[in-house]
Amino acid sequence: MDLTGQLLQLLFTGFTLGGIYALIALALVTTFNITGVLNMAQGEFLALGALLAASLCAAGASLPLAFVIAVATLALLGGLLERSAIHPARHAPGLILIIITIGLSISLRGLALLIWGTEPASLPAFSGGGPLFVMGAAVNPQSLWILGLVALAVAGLHAFFELTYAGKVFRACEINRTGARLVGINPAALSFLAFAGSGALGAAAGIFIAPVTLATYDMGFLLGVKGCVAAIIGGLNSVGGAVLGGLLLGILEAFGAGLVSSGLKDALSLLVLLGVLLGRPEGLIGAVAGRKV
């Protein structure tokens, strides 16, 4: 493969990784702006969704059916967790809410371990056939599915916030909670919806990436952390920033992976997170990406 091909190959890998991070960051940023909670358990939604779908497929369900059931279950779980753990502590200091989501993350990971054990599960690729070749670089068709989901999620969120009444309500709630309540909007219901949506989007993302990465009970934690990195790079306040942050991190990781040992690959994104937090905590591209959620 020539140099262009190699670079292109890395770029494609980066886009795939970046798409995954972007999906997590999207859920994080949306929830954060509505509830003020950075959901450290978001990564676990991916793991649970993927594992559940894999089990359903193994039990004979078709992939679309498994997808629908897993997404619905995780939406329910997300909402349930919001009601039981986030809502009762909604007036607590930020400190407590952060600890709660970390605790949820650990509990969910333990739950996954209890149910599915340590064996990785796999899901079939959505479309058959071998990799596509673009200028000598191989593209896994599943990557295109992932990027497609990113585009769909962005379009969906955009349409929801800009075009529907409920979306405008979401934004009103974000701007002014008291004001939202005055016009008859219930912030508690929005918080519930945000977590249910996060669960659904998380499950969908998990199922989309499982054919590439396999599904394991502990895949969620680092994914969640990397989603946070992407969201922080994006400034924590915009859909566009989250997507750009995710793609940037993915490409950085893809190119960086060739330079450092695989053991240090994860260290790279953590270094990025530390660097951004210590140097430019307001995010690298928040201002550029513009519009808020």
Partner 1 sequence: MRVLEKIRPPAGTAGCPAACLIKIYKVNSSQIDFNSVVNRSYEDMLKNAVVLTVLIFFLVLPLLIRSNYLLGILIVTGLYTIIVIGLGILMGYAGQVSFGQAAFFGLGGYTAAILSTSCSWPTPAALLAAMVLPGLVAALIGRPTLKLKELYLALATLAFGILVHILFNEGGEITGGPSGLMGIPYLSLGGLVFDRDIKFYYLVLAVVLLVSLAVHNLIQSRTGRALRAIRESEHAAEAAGMDTVLLKLQAFVFSAVLAGLAGGLYAFYVTFISPSPFSFHMSVQFVLMAVVGGLGTFWGPLLGSGLVVALGEALRWAVPLVIPGAGGEYQIIFFGIILVLVMVFRPGGLGSLFSPPVHRERPGRPGEKGVDDSVAGG
Q: Annotate each residue in 123-162 with x if it binds partner 1 (CB under 8 A) or - if it does not, as one string.
A: ----------------------------------------
Among 65, 76, 92, 288, binds partner 1 (CB under 8 A): 92
> Quick one: tokens of 111?
């739950």
**Should residue 99 be labelled a site residue for partner 1 when binding is judged by CB under 8 A?**
yes
Candidates 58, 166, 189, 277: give the one binding partner 1 (CB under 8 A): 277
CB 257 within 8 A of CB 265: yes
Q: How far apart are CA 212 and CA 248, in angstroms?
A: 20
For partner 1, which stretch binds (CB under 8 A), given 4-12, 99-107, 131-139, 207-215?
99-107
Q: Considering the rule CB under 8 A, would residue 267 count as an interface residue with partner 1?
A: yes
Tell me the Ramachandran region of residue 259: left when phi exceeds 0, alpha when psi lies from -120 to 50, beta otherwise.
Answer: alpha
Report the distance separating Cα 192 and Cα 115, nearest Å. Answer: 26
Question: What residues have CB less than 8 Å from 115, skipping those under 6 apart?
Answer: 51
Q: Do residues 30 and 237 make contact, with C-beta atoms less than 8 angstroms apart? A: no
Task: Examine residue 287 and tell whether it contacts partner 1 (CB under 8 A).
Answer: no
State which H helix or E strand residue 132 sits in: strand 132-134
Question: Where does this chain touch partner 1 (CB under 8 A) — which range of 9-17, 93-101, 147-155, 181-189?
Answer: 93-101
Interacting residues of 238 by C-beta distance below 8 A, sequence separation 6+:
29, 286, 289, 290, 291, 292, 293
Binding window for partner 1 (CB under 8 A); candidates: 22-30, 91-99, 192-200, 251-259: 91-99
- Residues in contact with partner 1 by CB under 8 A are 36, 38, 84-85, 88-89, 91-96, 98-100, 102-111, 113-114, 178, 225, 228-229, 232, 261, 263-264, 266-267, 270-271, 273-274, 277-279, 281
